[in-house]
Structure 1
Amino acid sequence: MTASSPRKSAVRLRALHLHGLMAAGLALICALAPVHLAHAQAIPQGTAQPQAPLEALEIATKGGVVVLEVEVARSEAQRSTGLMFRKELPERQGMLFDFHSDQPVAMWMKNTFIPLDMLFIRANGTIARIETMTTPFSERTISSGEPVRAVLELAGGATRRLGIAPGDRVSTNLLK
């Protein structure tokens, strides 16, 4: 063994330690900042999820109460498919994505034929933000901007036509 061998071993050991710390740091970042990408599962081309039973949902706006009927995507499979491959969505119908707890959420429009308005809803029912007239088939992620409990998707332009705005309150037993 030469005099430089212990030094080389120490350098290799530090390099391994550094790689281990980097891997641990990356794992920690991933664990602390989960982003749920709804609609992420690939499904066979042209296969729309069957319409689920419609349930009542109300939104208190400055102009009054807006009553909607929504399908509820509660399971991971339902959230992954969402409104993909649907060719139409009536004005006062939508899909509510329940994530069961507050978390950062990201959506996309892959395999979605119609423009949508996405309402990001806090646990207290207030609308945090609205992304209007999303682009069909786009794979651009649309972020909630803050932790939210749910996302409501409506036909593109419906929020403007119905007078729904950020800060309005969603009232439903569906999120309890």
Structure 2
Amino acid sequence: MQLVHEPVSGGDSTDEGGDRRVLATDVDLADSLVTQTRGLMFRRSLPDGAALAFRFDSVAVRDVHMLFVFFPIDAVWIADGVVQRVERLRPWLSFARAECDLLVELPAGAADGVEEGDRVVFES
């Protein structure tokens, strides 16, 4: 499964793959209470092309903290496939929140160019 960015600024060209960009080719799903609670804590890095995704049953405000995370990340909050917020988070210090039903954590810089209103989707 891969994570694909479809910018709104591309107009209809996204339907033909014009401005589409793969954000991650190796997506881990945090699908249990343990993996959701742990997140990226205690890991030393997140490789290029990787992402950690948190899927939820409904749209609600979700928090991201960076305690015990040793490297910067890009966090993307997505509701119904539409990006609500993108934030670069610093190790140990950052905290952010926004509404989403999908939260994706990527290596710092991987979400450059992703903006509110864009679409981010999973593809097989």
Q: TM-score, normalised by structure 1?
A: 0.59
Q: Does 1:57 align with 2:3?
A: yes
Shift >2 Å, 4+ stretches: none
Structure 1's 87 and 56: CA in aligned 2 closer, same or farther, altered over 3 A?
same
- Which structure: larger Rg? 1
Q: Shift of the alpha carbon at 1:173?
A: 6.1
Q: Does 1:130 align with 2:86?
A: yes
Structure 1's 98 and 113: CA in aligned 2 closer, same or farther, altered over 3 A?
same
Question: Which residue number corresponds to residue 97 of structure 1?
Answer: 54
Q: Which has the higher contact order (CA 8 A, sep 6+)?
A: 2
User: What is the Cα-based RMSD across aligned positions, in Å?
Assistant: 1.9
Question: Which residue number corresponds to residue 143 of structure 1?
Answer: 97
Q: Give the count of matched residue pairs.
A: 113
**Counterpart code for 1:65:** R
Q: Which has the higher strand share?
A: 2
Q: TM-score, normalised by structure 2?
A: 0.81
CA distance in 2, matches of 1:74, 1:110: 20
CA distance in 1, matches of 2:36, 2:81: 19
Question: Which residue number corresponds to residue 34 of structure 1?
Answer: none
Structure 2 residues not aligned, in runs of 5+: 11-17
Structure 1 residues not aligned, in runs of 5+: 1-54
Question: Which residue number corresponds to residue 29 of structure 1?
Answer: none
Q: Which has the higher helix share?
A: 1
Question: Which residue number corresponds to residue 120 of structure 2?
Answer: 170
User: Equivalent pairs: percent with the same residue?
Assistant: 30
Q: Does 1:115 align with 2:72?
A: yes
Contact 2:86–2:114 (CA under 8 A) maintained in structure 1: no
